[in-house]
């Protein structure tokens, strides 16, 4: 398994994985703009890491966002100041889930966030999305609230880096 930053050359693989995973889960687990995240590739506001199999297939991905509505909401809700980023958009093809590529991606994203000076990491997940909630806990994040974010119920997690 190889972990690397996604580029615009990965757009087809990204969208294929996104559509396959999304088709099998509750639509309320996704915010409407998550399918459009591929447009952030190559921009400084977003880093998307992907795990690739030895055959070059995209197994899964996750992102760190330096700008998002959730970041501003969390800063206001919990009085956070300083450099805050959001980790999320995690998806893994079902056939690769037993290999835990998302754990390696999250580890690398957290290391990157620390290295560039972020102070607080946030994540949101639908309370019924147990895989996402467990991933946040695995990463050491603490559940700080469960609130509506627009029409979407979300658990809010934070981690001081």
pLDDT in the model for residue 31:
58
CA angle 92/95/99 to nearest 5° reads 70
Non-local (6+) Cβ contacts of 154 within 8 A are 124, 125, 126, 127, 146, 147, 148
Burial letters for 77-113: b for 16+ Cβ neighbours within 10 Å, e otherwise?
A: eeebeeebbbbbbbbbbeebeeebbbebbbebbbeeb
- Could you say which residues of the chain have pLDDT below 70? 30-44
The model's pTM is 0.86
Predicted pLDDT of residue 30: 66
> How many other C-beta atoms are found inside a 10 Å radius of the C-beta of residue 56?
8
Domains of the chain, first to last: 2-160 (3.40.630.30)
Predicted pLDDT of residue 22 = 85
Predicted confidence at residue 43, as pLDDT, reads: 62
Query: Which element (helix H / strand E) includes 134?
Result: helix 130-138
Query: Is 6:50 a contact under the CB 8 Å cutoff?
Result: yes
């Amino acid at each position: 398994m190889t972990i690397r930053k996604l580029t615009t050359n990965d757009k087809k693989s990204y969208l294929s994985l996104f559509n396959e995973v999304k088709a099998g889960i509750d639509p309320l687990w996704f915010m409407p703009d998550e399918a459009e995240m591929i447009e952030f590739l190559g921009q400084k506001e977003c880093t998307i890491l992907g795990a690739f199999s030895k055959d070059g297939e995209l197994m899964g991905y996750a992102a760190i966002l330096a700008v998002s509505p959730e970041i501003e909401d969390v800063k206001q809700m919990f009085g956070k100041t300083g450099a805050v980023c959001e980790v999320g958009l995690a998806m893994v093809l079902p056939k690769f889930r037993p290999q835990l590529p998302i754990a390696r991606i999250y580890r690398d994203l957290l290391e990157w966030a620390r290295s560039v000076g972020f102070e607080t990491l946030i994540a949101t997940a639908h309370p019924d999305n147990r895989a996402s909630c467990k991933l946040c806990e695995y990463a050491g994040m603490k559940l700080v609230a469960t609130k509506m974010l627009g029409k979407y119920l979300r658990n809010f997690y934070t981690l001081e880096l």
